[in-house]
Every structure is written in structure tokens, then in C-alpha cells.
Chains A and B, each alone.
Chain A
């Protein structure tokens, strides 16, 4: 029983995110955040690009999931206390606008999908390509 409890506590701890004590670690978390955000943004864009090839209910569910997951990624990054270093502030300043743009874009896609506005979805998805590129570059440049 004791070992089971220890195992459960250890498993629980694997899901915890602590504060980043060094710039290097903060950079790693920022890169990871960018990759996770890119994954959700690209999921939404891929779904929208193929909107005519899937039922409306499926499209809506994929977009709602992407929106929630993107929000969770953003909230987790916001909850990390950056180290008191200019480099950490610069990282945050570079990533925050990308996260905001991505989040706003997915919300817009979900609204337009519910309204059945395919032209609007295509335009927003096209505009989001630049944000996706920047997230990709950020993730690649700052990954360990």
C-alpha cells in the first residue's frame, strides 16, 4: 500500500508545473509553449481548410477543443514566474503577442464556423498562417 501511495504521488507530480528558476529553463518552457500552441493553431487551420470535407458538428468540436487547449497552454505559460532577468522579459514579450493572436484567431474561427461563414474562415485561417510561422520559428530557435 505504501509503495502504491508513493507511486501515485510521483505520478501526480509529473503533471505539476513549477516556477522556472533560470533563464535557460524559462526559455525551454517558452519553446515548449510555442510548440504546443502551434499544434492547436494548426489543428484549427487544418480543420478549417477542410471544412467542406467534414460534418459541421465535427468541425465545431475540433475547433472548441483547439480553443480550450490553446487557452490552457497560454494560461500555463502565464502562470510561470519568469526569472528577474532582461532575457526572460524579452522572451515573454516575444511570445505573449503570438499567443494572443493565436487565441483570438481560434475564437474567431469557432464563431465563424458556427455561423457557417466559410469565406470568413478561409480569410482568418490565411491570416493566421503568419502567426503559425512565427510560433514555429520561436519554438525551433529556443528549443534546447
Chain B
């Protein structure tokens, strides 16, 4: 029963923890502009993250080391440094977006300007990373993030024509008036939102924090193969709500308040309160994950003691990196740069950095020295290679499309 509870808890936290500020903004923005015609990009991204998260979870469970702990050892310091630079920059940008996202969500609840919340959010993030146990962090915010299921309730209460909705989602087309470059620019943003690099850093390092062993491979797979797709379904519900309520009125999403409007229309005050709770939990949980991921990446590259499974004084450099990244993130948001704009750019730059994140996972999961009998099988390799091709195409196309479309305008 205890094991079943652990598996169920893992799946629930995977669902609740899947959505972050990038998913909230990208899905609502695309839903309000393209309807569900870009659902394929989210679905593709969810399958991709499942393929690579399964590998990185398996690496953590079998080797007892996080994937990126092995990158430098397996691929050498140069490749490791390229991987580190790209991943830390993108994760730091995402960290800024998440901190801004928490502050924006608190502004919606209180109408106090989000800039006043930023230092307090930063302090809370630091205190939690420093003092609170890893399992409590992960489970609390993962479970609270489930509040975003209210978007599924809102979709049901909006009583859409389901056959139209499904048809729009499964038959990709470019809506009238939108150029193909813009269509593909947003497809890459959605793909980047689903495959954000920090998710695999956190998943694999989290496996080590929780002391996974070979017996935990099944738990890890259930988290990935059940939790992530259901989290992806939440993303699609957000897009569908925006498509039904915002698109017909010509509303394009550029604030977090607009993301929640369909819930107010469909469910009312209580539903909106639940949605705000979900916004805070999802963004705060992701802020913890991105902050920790910055520390994990740097400490693992340099071979320092890392993690929350040791006392802070024993992993002082790890905590220092997290603190420096936090100060940079708070400073960036306090410049009054729009957190939603930061989010949009973080998604595109995530897409650019994807090959540097995912190629090493594929290499290490194929290495019998680390993986023994748990090395990748043919299906994992075929899927991993196919996704790497997609990832490289998205990575190469992201910046030219951003310039050609003036960031999707």
C-alpha cells in the first residue's frame, strides 16, 4: 500500500508540476490566436519530454548519479561546458519568468503591484530551497498545481462542440490571416514549453535526491508515462478554453489575467480562486525547480557536493550558486521587464538550447558502462533519434523565425 501511495503521489505531482508559466502563457496565447490548430506541437513536445525524461530517470535510478553529473565525464569538459553554458542561461531566463509569474499571480489575488511582490517571492524561494525538505517541496507544490484541473472543468462547463474541437486538434491547418512563419514560430514555442530543459535536470537530479535505485525505474516510468501526458492534457485544456472564450472576441493574450478569464466566465468566483491558487503553485513550484536546476547543473559540472539530501553547510557552493541565480532573477524582474515577454523569449531560447540538453541524455542512456543491462532498447533509440532530428530542426529554425516574424507579431 505504501508503494502504491508513493506511485500515486509521484503521478499526481508529475501532473501538477508539469505546467509552469511557459505552458500557461504559450497555451493560452496560441489558443486565443490559432484555436487548437497547433495542438499537435504540444502533443509532440509531451511525447518528446516523456522519451527523454524516461531515459534520464532510468540513468539516475541505475547509476545513482544525475545525467548531467555524467556529461562531463562521458563527453569531456568542452562538450560539458557547452551543455552547461546553454542550459544554465536558458534555465536562468526561465527562473526569471517563474519568479515574475508568481508575482503576477499574487497581483491577481491582491491587486498589489507585482513588483512589490518580487522581493518577497525571492525570499520565500530562497528560504524554501535552504530549509525545506526536497520531498515536501516537490509534493506540496505538485499537488497544489493540480488546482489547474479547473481549466478542464471550465472547458466542460463551456459546453463546446467536442467534435469540432477534436477535428481542429487532429487536422492541423494554418488559420486564415496567419502567415506560415508565424504558425511555425508558435509551434516551436509550444514545443519548447513542453520540452523545457530544466524539467529533465530536475527530474534526474530529483531521482538522486530521493535515492532512487533500480527498483524505482518502474515508479519513474509511471510518473513520466502517466503524469506528463495528463499534465499535457491540462495544457491543451488551457488552450481550448482560450480558443472558446478569447479567440471569438479578438483577444490576444499578453497578461496572466487574460489566461484566467475563461475560468471566470465558465465557473465563476470559486473556480477563479482555484485557478489563481493553481497559478501560484505552478509558478512557485517551477521557480523552486529552476532555481535548484541552476545549482544542480553548475555543481554537477564542477564536481561539487550538491543537493538537498545533504545539509546546506555540506553543499555550500551549490547553495551559493542557487542564491546568486536568485539574486540575478530578482534583479532582472525588478528592472520592470515584462515577465510575460521574458517567458515568451525563454521558450524560444529553450528551443535553441534543446539539442545541447537532449543529445547527452541519449548518449549516456546508450552507454553500457553506466547502464549495464538497462541500456536503451531499440524503441527508445528510434524515438530518441527521431526526436533529436525534430529538436535540431526546431533549434535551427527558432531564431530565424523569431526575426522573420518579429517575435510572432
Q: How far is the CB of B95 from chain A (nearest CB, A)?
A: 19
Judge whether A39 and B264 touch: CB under 8 Å. Answer: no
**B272 in the interface, Cβ–Cβ < 8 Å?**
yes
- Contact status A57-B403, CB under 8 Å: no
The reply on B261 being an interface residue by CB < 8 A is yes
- Which A residues from 72 to 129 make CB contacts under 8 A with B? none
Is B254 engaged at the interface, CB distance under 8 Å to the other chain?
yes
Q: Chain A's interface: helix, strand, loop or mixed, by majority?
A: helix
Quick check: A53 and B272 within 8 Å, CB to CB?
yes
A58-B108, A58-B109 are known contacts. Are A36 and B402 too (CB-CB below 8 A)? no
B258 at the interface (CB under 8 A from A): yes
Q: Is A20 an interface residue (CB 8 A)?
A: no
Given contacts A15-B407, A39-B250, A53-B272, A143 and B177 within 8 Å (CB-CB): yes
Determine if A14 and B402 form an interchain contact, defined as CB atoms under 8 angstroms apart.
yes
Binary interface encoding of chain B residues 370-409 relative to chain A, with 1 for a CB under 8 A from any of its CBs, else 0: 0000000000000000000000000000010011001101
Q: Could you say which residues of chain A place their CB within 8 Å of the CB of B265?
A: 46, 50, 53
Shortest distance between the CB of B336 and any CB in chain A (Å): 12
Contact with A along B12-28 (1 / 0, CB 8 A): 00000000000000000
B409 touches which one: A32, A39, A43 (CB < 8 A)? A32
Interface size class on chain A is 20 to 34
How many angstroms between the C-alpha atoms of A42 and B402 in the bound complex? 27
Name the distance in Å between A40's Cβ and chain B's nearest Cβ: 8
In the bound complex, how far is the Cα of B348 from the Cα of A7, in angstroms?
A: 13
For A40-79 the 0/1 string (1 means CB < 8 A from B) is 0011011100100111111011101100010000000000
The answer to whether A69 touches B399 (Cβ under 8 A) is no
Cβ–Cβ < 8 Å partners of A55 in chain B: 109, 269, 272-273
Chain A-chain B contacts (Cβ-Cβ < 8 Å), number: 85
Task: State whether A14 touches B407 (Cβ < 8 A).
Answer: yes
Interface centre among A45, A55, A61, A69 (most CB of B within 10 A): A61
Q: Is B260's beta carbon under 8 Å from chain A? A: yes
Q: Roughly how many angstroms separate A14 CA and B405 CA in the complex, as a whole number?
A: 9
Interface pair B403/A10, CB less than 8 Å apart: yes
Report how far A60 CA is from B111 CA in the complex, Å: 7
Determine the distance from Cα of A42 to Cα of B247 in the docked complex, in whole angstroms.
11
A31, chain B: closest CB distance, angstroms: 11
User: Across the interface, which residues of B come within 8 angstroms of A62, CB to CB?
Assistant: 108, 255, 257-258, 261
Given contacts A58-B260, A139-B250, 16 further A-B contacts (CB under 8 A): A14-B402, A35-B252, A39-B250, A42-B251, A43-B255, A43-B257, A43-B258, A46-B261, A46-B265, A47-B261, A53-B264, A53-B265, A54-B269, A58-B108, A58-B272, A61-B107
Q: Give me the interface of A with B, judged by CB distance under 8 Å.
A: 7, 10-11, 14-15, 32, 35-36, 38-39, 42-43, 45-47, 50, 53-58, 60-62, 64-65, 69, 136, 139, 143
By Cβ-Cβ distance, the 5 closest A-B pairs, closest first, are A57-B111, A62-B257, A42-B249, A54-B264, A53-B268
What's the Cα separation between A51 and B270 when bound, in Å? Answer: 13
- Is B269 a contact partner of A46 (Cβ separation < 8 A)? no
On whether the beta carbons of A57 and B252 are closer than 8 Å, the reply is no
- B108 with A61: CB separation less than 8 A: yes
Q: List 15 A-B contacts (CB under 8 A).
A: A10-B399, A11-B402, A35-B250, A43-B251, A43-B255, A47-B264, A53-B265, A56-B111, A57-B111, A58-B260, A61-B108, A62-B261, A65-B257, A69-B255, A139-B250
- B34 close to A (CB within 8 Å): no
In the complex, what's the smallest C-beta–C-beta distance from B29 to chain A, in angstroms?
11
Of chain A, the residue at the smallest CB distance from B32 is A39
CB distance from B183 to the nearest CB of A (A): 15
Q: Which residues in chain B, 204-263, are within 8 Å of chain A measured between CB atoms?
A: 245-246, 249-252, 254-255, 257-258, 260-261
Q: Which of B272-287 contact A (CB under 8 A)?
A: 272-273, 276
Known: A14-B403, A14-B407, A50-B264. A39 touches B269 (CB 8 A): no
